[in-house]
Chain A
Amino acid sequence: MAYDARPEGPLGGARDVAPPALRVAGVSKTFRPRDGRDPFTALSDVSLDVSDNTFVSILGPSGCGKTTLLRMMNGLLAPDNGEVLLGGKPPRPGPDVGFVFQSFRLLPWRTIRGNVELGLEETGLSRAERRERALRYLALVGLSRFAESYPHELSGGMKQRVALARALAPEPSVLLMDEPFASLDAQTRELMQMELLRLWERRRGVVVFVTHSVDEAIVLSDRIVLMRSHPGRIAEVLDVDLPRPRWDTDVHTRREFVELRHYLWEQIKAMVLASAEPGLFGSGDAPG
């Protein structure tokens, strides 16, 4: 990663190396509670470049700042230090960056179609175009039949697919996904992974995918960003050398998969043990 960190100036476009689609450079974030409790450093000096058409997963223990990093990538949150650049510009929330949240976040008073249309209401599309687009993406996630239903009539997996359709419908160039499948059962989860891969092969772009699942990260990604906590920072970036497309074959048995999985498990286990309270996992008794 030999990018020089020359800031984008008026001449920034004239560089011979294409700038990365997404650049995170030296980003830090400290939350300062108003009531005088100690400030908490959620992220410290995080740098990451993602080139176009790349699927990146972020893996790391709970509380290491994954959501915080994602929120900075679409401009919902500003970094204290450093900068985030999307296509060379600071990100602004909008239809060019899709966000799938850790919870579904559907509007209970809108139909499923209305919920998907919400993602399109800042795009300048006409009402008829929004409707048509929403229906198209609902078909893509297999929910055409439920277009006029309300969120409470859907199962958890279906709601997550609505949230996915809402994020995809504006056809963003960057898709940020925060543990989108965490609340799904194992089968639905695997189906959704394959669904996502199928959609992504069709229309690529940058995907940043936060997950707690090592398997999920390997199956989906080109690169895996491993984070550690206290303070949140990047521990390691790994490339995944599995052939694509991966949705029509089972990659779980391939040697590369098994080795990478084993390696990541070891790393995460070490992190968890290092930060565990004494007594938990029996580490209190361990010698040394």
Chain B
Amino acid sequence: MPDGATRQSSAARALLPAGLKAAPVWLWRLVVLAALLLLWWAVAVFVGRNFVPTPQATALAALRLIENGTLPNATAQSLAVFFTGYGLAAAVAIPLGLLMGGFRPLGATLDVFVNALAATPRVAFIPLIIVFLGLGFEAKVTIIFLGAVMPILINTYTGVLSSDGELVEMARSTGAGDLAIFRKIMLPGSLRSIVAGLRLGAGIGLISTVVAELYTSVRGLGGLLATYGNTFQMDNYFVVVLAFAAIGALVTQGLRMAESRMDRWQYQEERAS
């Protein structure tokens, strides 16, 4: 999956008058942020009545929640379950996907089941998970794991499968064996696809975090969401929503940085395709 945002923005810049071309991306991001804040404010004042708090009220609520420790604690709890579940998903999905792609009979055997599982709504498993694992940390981690594991697995698998047959033949002509070909050609060739899977998995993992915290013992940011939502503390509620958005942006940005490190050699591939 190409790095859409940066490439689109460079395409967009090409259409703009020369004076605007020089503006860096972060400046445009600030402009959009300001526009969103304005929109939010307008909605809060003119439409929202008591349901949509103003940006100012939300900011005050945020300060309060940070000061009394509620937000940092909840964030820490949520991040702990998220990173545990997500880390486990990556630790299982990447090796398994590589094995499935590298060892065709295994891939051909398992991919039906993987696709079937990927198409099943993961909420369907939650009652079962609660029965077996209860409402605590393990249950939450399992829910996140189940959400994040599939996109990482499928992307890794297809990444290896779609490795360049011409490069494989070239490596074979140098005398490289199957293992060396896997290590030198297939693995680096599927790296980009793996990172794209990690990005997708992170998104689903974060959503699963909220789901887990709503359906099992009410804790973390998802727990706050439930508490504030049920008691109509909308300013606090918005703080939590924004915290989620910020975490999502940070995690995705981190993975995107990993991707752009690979850009040195990938830029040309994308232009060519």
| Contact flag A94-B174 (CB < 8 Å), given A105-B166, A105-B167 | yes
- Minimal Cβ-Cβ distance residue in A for B176: A122
For A, the interface residue count at a CB cutoff of 8 angstroms equals 23
| Contact flag A122-B265 (CB < 8 Å), given A76-B169, A101-B166, A105-B170 | no
CA distance A150 to B176 in the complex (A): 22
Tell whether, in the assembled complex, residue B174 and residue A152 are in contact, meaning their CB atoms are under 8 Å apart. no
Tell whether, in the assembled complex, residue A93 and residue B262 are in contact, meaning their CB atoms are under 8 Å apart. no
Interface residues of A in 128-179 (CB under 8 A from B): 150-152, 170
Tell whether, in the assembled complex, residue A151 and residue B265 are in contact, meaning their CB atoms are under 8 Å apart. yes
Tell whether, in the assembled complex, residue B188 and residue A94 are in contact, meaning their CB atoms are under 8 Å apart. no
Q: Which residues of A contact B185 (CB under 8 A)?
A: 107
| A51 interfacial contact with B, CB 8 Å | no
| A41 interfacial contact with B, CB 8 Å | no
| A95 interfacial contact with B, CB 8 Å | yes
| B172 interfacial contact with A, CB 8 Å | yes
Chain B proximity of A235: nearest CB distance (Å): 28
CA distance A74 to B170 in the complex (A): 12
A-B contact count (CB 8 A): 62
Q: Which residues of B contact A122 (CB under 8 A)?
A: 174-176, 180
Q: Which residues of B contact A264 (CB under 8 A)?
A: none
CA distance A92 to B188 in the complex (A): 26
CA distance A150 to B175 in the complex (A): 23
- Minimal Cβ-Cβ distance residue in B for A74: B173
Tell whether, in the assembled complex, residue A108 and residue B166 are in contact, meaning their CB atoms are under 8 Å apart. no
Chain B proximity of A94: nearest CB distance (Å): 3
Tell whether, in the assembled complex, residue A119 and residue B174 are in contact, meaning their CB atoms are under 8 Å apart. yes
Tell whether, in the assembled complex, residue B176 and residue A103 are in contact, meaning their CB atoms are under 8 Å apart. no
Tell whether, in the assembled complex, residue B170 and residue A101 are in contact, meaning their CB atoms are under 8 Å apart. yes
Tell whether, in the assembled complex, residue A95 and residue B172 are in contact, meaning their CB atoms are under 8 Å apart. no
Q: Which residues of A contact B64 (CB under 8 A)?
A: none
CA distance A172 to B29 in the complex (A): 56
Chain B proximity of A150: nearest CB distance (Å): 5
CA distance A66 to B174 in the complex (A): 20
Question: CB-defined interface of A21-33 with B at 8 Å, one 1/0 digit per residue?
Answer: 0000000000000
Question: CB-defined interface of A109-121 with B at 8 Å, one 1/0 digit per residue?
Answer: 1100000001101
Chain B proximity of A129: nearest CB distance (Å): 16
Tell whether, in the assembled complex, residue A107 and residue B167 are in contact, meaning their CB atoms are under 8 Å apart. yes
Tell whether, in the assembled complex, residue B184 and residue A94 are in contact, meaning their CB atoms are under 8 Å apart. no
Q: Which residues of B contact A99 (CB under 8 A)?
A: 170, 173
Which of A97, A121, A151 has the most CB atoms of chain B within a 10 A radius of its CB?
Answer: A121
Interface size class of B (residues with CB under 8 A): 20 to 34
| Contact flag A108-B173 (CB < 8 Å), given A101-B166, A103-B166, A118-B184 | no
Tell whether, in the assembled complex, residue A93 and residue B173 are in contact, meaning their CB atoms are under 8 Å apart. yes
Tell whether, in the assembled complex, residue B173 and residue A76 are in contact, meaning their CB atoms are under 8 Å apart. yes
- Minimal Cβ-Cβ distance residue in B for A107: B167
Q: Which residues of A contact B169 (CB under 8 A)?
A: 76, 101, 105
Q: Which residues of A contact B176 (CB under 8 A)?
A: 121-122
Tell whether, in the assembled complex, residue A121 and residue B173 are in contact, meaning their CB atoms are under 8 Å apart. no
Tell whether, in the assembled complex, residue B174 and residue A95 are in contact, meaning their CB atoms are under 8 Å apart. yes
- Minimal Cβ-Cβ distance residue in A for B191: A109
Which of B174, B180, B189, B269 has the most CB atoms of chain A within a 10 A radius of its CB?
Answer: B174
| Contact flag A121-B180 (CB < 8 Å), given A76-B173, A107-B167, A107-B185 | yes
Task: Return the contact of B265 from the options A97, A103, A152, A170 (Cβ within 8 A).
Answer: A152
- Minimal Cβ-Cβ distance residue in A for B170: A105
| B266 interfacial contact with A, CB 8 Å | yes
Task: Return the contact of A93 from the options B174, B189, B266, B267 (Cβ within 8 A).
Answer: B174
Q: Which residues of B contact A109 (CB under 8 A)?
A: 188-189, 191, 262, 265-266
CA distance A105 to B269 in the complex (A): 12
Question: CB-defined interface of B153-177 with A at 8 Å, one 1/0 digit per residue?
Answer: 0000000000000110111111110
Question: CB-defined interface of B239-273 with A at 8 Å, one 1/0 digit per residue?
Answer: 00000000000000000000000101111110000
- A residues sitting closer than 8 Å to B (CB atoms) are 74, 76, 92-95, 97, 99, 101, 103, 105, 107-110, 118-119, 121-122, 150-152, 170
28 A-B residue pairings within 8 Å (CB atoms): A74-B173, A76-B172, A76-B173, A92-B175, A93-B172, A93-B173, A94-B175, A99-B170, A99-B173, A101-B169, A105-B166, A107-B184, A108-B265, A108-B266, A108-B268, A109-B191, A109-B262, A109-B266, A118-B174, A118-B184, A121-B180, A121-B184, A122-B174, A122-B175, A150-B265, A151-B268, A152-B265, A152-B267
Q: Can you list the 9 inter-chain pairs with the closest CB atoms, starting with the nearest?
A: A152-B268, A94-B175, A122-B175, A105-B170, A99-B173, A108-B265, A109-B265, A109-B188, A93-B173
- B residues sitting closer than 8 Å to A (CB atoms) are 166-167, 169-176, 180, 184-185, 188-189, 191, 262, 264-269
